[in-house]
Amino acid sequence: MAFAHTSILCDEVVNGLAIMSNGIYVDATLGGGGHAFAICKRLATGRLIGIDQDEAAVEAATKRLQDFADKVTIIRSNYCEIRKVLHQIGIQKVDGILLDLGVSSYQIDTATRGFSYLIDAPLDMRMDQRQSQTASEIVNEYSEGELYRIIRDYGEDKFAKNIAKHIVLERRKSSIETTDMLNEVIKRAIPMKFQKNSGHPSKRTYQAIRIELNQELEVLKQSLDEMIELLNPGRRICIITFHSLEDRIVKNAFRRNENPCTCPSHFPVCVCGKHSKGKVITRKPILPTKEEMRENSRSKSAKLRIFERV
């Protein structure tokens, strides 16, 4: 299957980055290269560095961006390694960074990747297939308490306790190796009256397992402050999120970098010595237009937040 992914909020990202024709930009979740392509069209003497941990994404983006080969450097890595990646190619500061945190259409629709609850496949869900652990190991080896924790915290599913219990009971009979097998267990754990009005019953559990397996929230938390530090003054970072857990982390990190002071509110002057690193451009997130949501249903939950370095 070809790496297909419709870039969400593409115009809004390009405008949000306020691209300079001679600037250096990082698409830290390169995917199929859609956002990167739009950025490259604005560059004259500038440069784009693309980072992605998915081998299929690297191959697809390399092909898509071949007309800009003199401006583009693509590296297979996780965006948490952004400083290391940039230093390896002699770059200290950049003029813009993009994170599109969504799972690509290619990853969802490729059966063997095991991301989708709609396609029967082995339980994989690895964003980087060099990683040894798979979703199957989480489902079959985590304790009931650990499963409950991740489904509750990362899936925000009110039936997390019952789902975890049913998974453990089922795997005592035989291991749960495919998406269809896991779907059946989850369906039995959620009362039918709630299944009718709440979308697919597996949606939240799959999100939880994927986040846990790929350490998505921890990587995001650990990377944001460093990314802001890497920006030149007056330059921006744009982040697209797709669920409330990601969005909350980004919103709080942007606010903290705008106002890092930890002094008690009654202090007349700041004595903590922590200075603002920039300003939040988007007090409220930018959402897709109704037209984009009609054309691409996967954009409906997207939110774009922008921060500018000072």
Q: What is the DSSP annotation of 22-55?
A: T-EEEESS-TTSHHHHHHHTT-SS-EEEEEES-H
Domain count, the chain: 2
Pairing between strand 47-52 and 72-76? parallel
Whether 91 and 144 share a structural domain:
no
**Residue 36: CB atoms within 10 Å:** 27
Residue identified by tokens 């992914």 is 5
SS3 72: strand
* Cβ neighbours of residue 221 closer than 8 Å, sequence gap 6 or more: 249, 253
SS3 279: strand
pLDDT in tens, 108-146: 888 889 999 999 999 999 999 999 999 999 999 999 999
User: Which of the listed residues 214, 232, 265 is the one where a domain comes to its end?
Assistant: 214
φ and ψ at residue 295, rounded to 5 degrees? -75, -30
3: nearest Cα among 53, 49, 61 = 61
Whether 222 and 300 share a structural domain:
yes
Q: What is the CATH number of the domain that holds 174?
A: 1.10.150.170
Q: What is the CATH number of the domain that holds 225?
A: 3.40.50.150
User: Which of the listed residues 172, 192, 214 is the one where a domain comes to its end?
Assistant: 214
Is 125 among the domain residues?
A: no
Is 76 among the domain residues?
A: yes
Please say whether the beta carbons of 256 and 280 come within 8 A: no
Please say whether the beta carbons of 258 and 277 come within 8 A: yes
Domain containing residue 281: 10-106+216-309
Is 2 among the domain residues?
A: no
pLDDT in tens, 82-97: 999 999 999 999 999 9
Is 60 among the domain residues?
A: yes
- Per-residue model confidence (pLDDT) at position 156: 95
Please say whether the beta carbons of 190 and 162 come within 8 A: yes
Whether 84 and 135 share a structural domain:
no
Pairing between strand 303-309 and 278-280? antiparallel
Whether 20 and 93 share a structural domain:
yes
Helix and strand numbers, DSSP H then E, in the chain: 14, 7
Under DSSP, the state recorded for 174 is: S
- Per-residue model confidence (pLDDT) at position 3: 54
- Per-residue model confidence (pLDDT) at position 15: 98
Is 121 among the domain residues?
A: no
Is 157 among the domain residues?
A: yes
Query: Which residues does the chain have with pLDDT short of 50?
Result: none
Tell me the β-bridge partners of 280: 307
User: Which of the listed residues 198, 214, 230 is the one where a domain comes to its end?
Assistant: 214
